[in-house]
Amino acid sequence: MDRGGAETMVMNYYRHIDRTKVQFDFLVHREQRGAYDDEIESMGGKIYRMCPVYPQNFARYKRDLHSFFQSHPEYKIIHSHMSELGYFAFSEAKRQGIPVRICHAHNAPHGFDMKMIMRTYFKKRMMPYVTHLFMCGIDSGRWLYGKQNEDRFIMLNNAIDVQTYTYDSNKRIEMRRQLNLTDDLVIGHVGRFNPQKNHPFLINIFAALLRREPNAVLLLVGGGEGMSKMQEKAQELGIAEHVRFLGVRSDVADLMQAMDVFVFPSLYEGLGIALIEAQAAGLPCVVSDTIPHEAYLTDLVDSESLSAPAEKWAEKILAKRAIPRTDRRAEIAAHGFDITTEAVKLQEFYLKAYEQNC
């Protein structure tokens, strides 16, 4: 299993549940080993692999799920993070008598194209097979399940290990040394290189900022097929020497110590776990106005319209740079985003659901 927002959230909970009471096993849709696989196996988790869930694979995928559940009657709870494509697992699981079938909404997409038509079709077909409707934010829940089902929504916060992200001035000095950064302004972003994260606009924002702050640096943390296009864009704009493409990293908490301002211009988010992490690190944040307000845990977050010019975003970023970094642990925990307490709640949910249904 590779790194991503939903994957990171799942791993945060997995690390902190009592694994003598609840164990996670994983069904993933890739043949290659992922960044989290070694850790999963070290904690006792099993990893099963299936084909990617593409339209050309739907028939094969249904057959594989049928065989899987027949071969593994020990599973009484499934918890899917695949949005509407969880339909396939839920329908087969119900046919084979698995009593607890949890769907988890992570995003609130927008727009209208062929992909959205398919998504709408499957999310409607999925609902009769789901027993519990989890979400990371109200917008994601309404999009996937419909407003008419709000009385069934269950909020599960994208909680993090707050202690890991707490601002540390010594760690900041060390990370800046490792990255060969001076005292110049460092802008940061964490996210997979896909259309949702809006990297083209982020690059434009940074280009506008460089005209005001010519020694600034942009740190881009994450992987994905779109990264090469953004590298080309940085070259075309003549700013490549100021943009660091750091790839997929396991030390995001440390990298955030080196940043001065976190920028998050996503087209949409279910919540945005990277924004929660940035606030825990005490980072001033400039985000798009599409980000759900459930993610505004502190006064560090300021929003801007995606229709605003890049120059306006750059001005807002520069205005945030002077905000001092402080310990925000208490604020994050008060909003229910401390994994040490939230993992216990999820654990108790699983145990109760198992007791009542199995």
Per-residue model confidence (pLDDT) at position 320 = 96
Per-residue model confidence (pLDDT) at position 45 = 98
DSSP codes of every residue in 75-114? --EEEE-SGGGGHHHHHHHHHTT--EEEEEE-------SH
Domain assignments of the chain as residue spans, ordered by start: 5-159+338-357, 162-334
Query: % helix / strand / coil in the chain, to the nearest 5?
Result: 50, 15, 35
Residues 252-289 have pLDDT tens digits of 999 999 999 999 999 999 899 999 999 999 999 999 99
Are the C-beta atoms of 310 and 205 separated by less than 8 Å? yes
Strand 77-80, strand 301-304: pairing: unpaired
- Residues of the chain where predicted confidence (pLDDT) is lower than 50: none
What's the rounded Cα separation, in Å, for the pair 84 and 86?
5
Give me the residues paired with residue 221 across strands.
Answer: 190, 247
Per-residue model confidence (pLDDT) at position 113 = 75
- Give the angle subtended at the CA of 313 by the CAs of 309 and 319, to the nearest 5°: 145
Q: How many residues belong to the chain?
A: 358
CATH 3.40.605.10 fits 162-334, yes or no: no
Give me the residues paired with residue 338 across strands.
Answer: 160
Q: What is the CATH number of domain 5-159+338-357?
A: 3.40.50.2000
The answer to whether 5-159+338-357 and 162-334 have equal CATH topology is: yes
Are the C-beta atoms of 82 and 129 separated by less than 8 Å? no
How much is the pTM?
0.91
Are the C-beta atoms of 188 and 256 separated by less than 8 Å? yes
Q: What is the phi/psi pair of residue 133, to 5°?
A: -110, 95
Residues 72-123 have pLDDT tens digits of 999 999 999 999 999 999 999 999 999 999 999 999 887 777 888 999 999 9
Q: Is 3 left (phi over 0), alpha (psi -120 to 50) or beta?
A: beta
DSSP codes of every residue in 280-344? HTT--EEEETTS-GGG--STTEEEE-TTS-HHHHHHHHHHHTTSPP---HHHHHHTT-BHHHHHH
